[in-house]
Structure 1
Amino acid sequence: MNRNVMIIMNPKAGKGNGKSALFTICDRFSKAQDHVHVYITQSKGHAITLSKELGPSHDILLCIGGDGTWNEVINGVLPLSTQPHLAYLPSGTVNDFASTLKISKSPEKLMDTIERWNPFACDIGLFNTRYFTYVAAFGIFTDVSYSTPQQSKNMFGKVAYYLEGMKQLANIPRYHIKLHVNGETIEDDYMFGCITNSKYVAGFTTVSTKHAQLDDGLFEILMIRTPNNPLDAQVIIAALLKREVNHDWMYFTTASSLDIESIEDIPWTLDGEDGGSTTLAHIENKNKAVTILV
């Protein structure tokens, strides 16, 4: 087909399964008479640089890695005036974004998908100046992904997130926040908030699953108030396990943009990676910002 194909692979993602898939993928592209260029990430942020500098000269950019690597590719591609079509082989620990789009971990099935050529225009989130693919979150449990050691992720998978999250139950945060959304302002104390464009977060089905569409220009927004005592916490946990919105303790809505304001700096996570701290977060949905082969 004589296409220029760029492959970015993170060899450290998950258990390193992407390495064994690389030959299968390169073989299939070569048989299709495509020109393949493989780049192995060497450090954090490397996939951003590679995507930004080399993406415009390629027809397809294929990412092999976890949610963090995929996030870097998105941040590299979004500013480009000429974007390649994107493809994704998830090889991380939980792969929330891929689960929502039902993207297979099989390299053969991925290549079958690329051959069928079914482009999907996907929404991307903008958090101040950084892009995210499926979640921006703050509060309890939100640093679990990047504080969980990679070795534990590889050995225990989702259970590793549970184990790390249990450590935080003894120290529930309380952030006083003003939420500006859909023309109204809501002010309260919250222990957790997430703005999602996914049916899964940390490998688990979210409360907002039935609302999640990746091309509707809307986020699903869930805020959980800080409990006053262990009984309140049990009520919140029960609702989360049932994937229900308890309106006494939760606020849920959908919106294309929002602002979250606080007096103190709030640490955020973007796609499971450290998103830095800020007192003002402007979050905007970039409708159908990238094209993914699914």
Structure 2
Amino acid sequence: MTEITSAALVVNAMSRKGRRLFEQACSAMDALPYPVDAHAVENPEDLEATVRRALAKKPDLLILGGGDGTVSGLVDLMVGHDVILGVLPLGTANSFARTLGIPLDIAGAVEVLRTGAPRRIDLGMIDGDYFANCAAMGLSPKIAETVPHGLKKVFGRAGYLGWAGYQFLRFRPFTLIVGEGENRQRMRVVEVRISNGPYHGGVELIESAEVDSGEIVVQAVCGHVKRRLIRNWVSNAIKHETRHEEVREFRGKAMRVDTIPSLPISIDGEVLAHTPVTARVAAGIIRVMAPIP
């Protein structure tokens, strides 16, 4: 087992809740048998610089505290460094932590840091951008790209859900093209997921995707009417047998993905690209602290 003698903790503590969770995490980490250099970052724009400074001190373990977007946005900086990733799930969906079997409470996640073992895993890639869990095309990135700045802060969850409902009324199915040349496949779809793991939005949607398979999975929810999307999400949430209906999957080390019209792509919740793109897997590129099976 790899011996850990030093660690750094970087927490996205933008909100009041984030600061409180940071303090709870620091208290829980007092039980770890090695020192933890802890940083609470209240301005998200400072996260990358903070991680770079932490990596410069060459810790054995770098613990990232936040949601899936925080992990995906910072994991690029760890590639090529001899450092183990630790995950402190402080987001809403925490899909990456669910994939790894990491408990979603602070005490449980810290216990994995204390008793777990490094596990070598893949990362997904959209063109040159690494991501930890899942990218998507369809309604969710459209909402994220168009939501008025400050809407959720001013009107809360109700305001955000209202905007989501407004975008759903305007949403239309689109054409997906997977592959190139004579082998490309074209279909009408309501959502596309590019996955390195089974969870998206905290729900197990892509059961065939594994974090250490050496392949990326493109899952298309096929259909000409948008109610198919609602039916697919609901059937997956309740594990109904119909969840596999009207779903097509493609898997491989790299695939060209395009849409008509060109659409935004959310990468673990953040809109960071637009089609067309190449989706690929970076096999076994990073180690993460995970529970021992």
Scaled to the shorter chain, the TM-score interval is 0.7 to 0.9
Q: Which residue of 2 aligns with 1:251?
A: 248
CA distance in 1, matches of 2:72, 2:245: 31
Shift of 1:11: 0.9
CA distance in 2, matches of 1:152, 1:191: 31
Partners of 1:86 and 1:293 within 8 A in 2: yes
Q: Which residue of 2 aligns with 1:130?
A: 129
Q: Which residue of 2 aligns with 1:178?
A: 177
Shift of 1:24: 1.7
Q: Which residue of 2 aligns with 1:20?
A: 23
| Structure-to-structure mapping, 1:9-158, within 5 angstroms | 9-12=11-14, 15-16=17-18, 17-29=20-32, 32=33, 34-55=34-55, 57-78=58-79, 80=80, 82-144=81-143, 147=147, 151=153
CA distance in 2, matches of 1:239, 1:138: 15
Matched AA of 1:71 = S
Matched AA of 1:76 = L
> Structure 1, residues 40-66: CA drift from partner, whole Å, max 9, x if none?
224335333333443251111011111
Matched AA of 1:111 = V
Shift of 1:197: 2.0
Partners of 2:121 and 2:287 within 8 A in 1: yes
Partners of 1:96 and 1:200 within 8 A in 2: yes
> Structure 1, residues 40-94: CA drift from partner, whole Å, max 9, x if none?
224335333333443251111011111121112212112x2x3311111111122
CA distance in 1, matches of 2:260, 2:109: 46
Shift of 1:115: 2.4
Correspondence for 1:238 among 231, 236, 239: 231
| Structure-to-structure mapping, 1:203-282, within 5 angstroms | 203-206=202-205, 208-209=206-207, 211-225=208-222, 227=224, 232-235=225-228, 237-243=230-236, 244-247=243-246, 250-262=247-259, 264-278=261-275, 280-282=276-278
Partners of 1:193 and 1:224 within 8 A in 2: yes
CA distance in 1, matches of 2:217, 2:287: 21
Structure 1 pair 42–237 and aligned structure 2 pair: CA distance change class (3 A): closer
Partners of 1:24 and 1:107 within 8 A in 2: no
Structure 2: gaps spanning 5 or more residues: 237-242
CA distance in 1, matches of 2:119, 2:250: 25
CA distance in 2, matches of 1:72, 1:119: 21
> Structure 1, residues 245-294: CA drift from partner, whole Å, max 9, x if none?
334xx42232222111356542111000111324x201111112211111
Partners of 2:254 and 2:278 within 8 A in 1: yes
CA distance in 2, matches of 1:161, 1:96: 21
| Structure-to-structure mapping, 1:283-294, within 5 angstroms | 283-294=279-290
Structure 1 pair 46–63 and aligned structure 2 pair: CA distance change class (3 A): same
Shift of 1:133: 0.8
- Identity over aligned pairs, percent: 17
Structure 1 pair 160–283 and aligned structure 2 pair: CA distance change class (3 A): farther
Q: Does 38-47 or 141-150 show the bigger shift? A: 141-150
> Structure 1, residues 129-183: CA drift from partner, whole Å, max 9, x if none?
2111111111222344574955499x75xx98765533322112354442118x9
Structure 1 pair 196–90 and aligned structure 2 pair: CA distance change class (3 A): same
Structure 1 pair 106–188 and aligned structure 2 pair: CA distance change class (3 A): closer
Structure 1: gaps spanning 5 or more residues: none
Matched AA of 1:68 = G
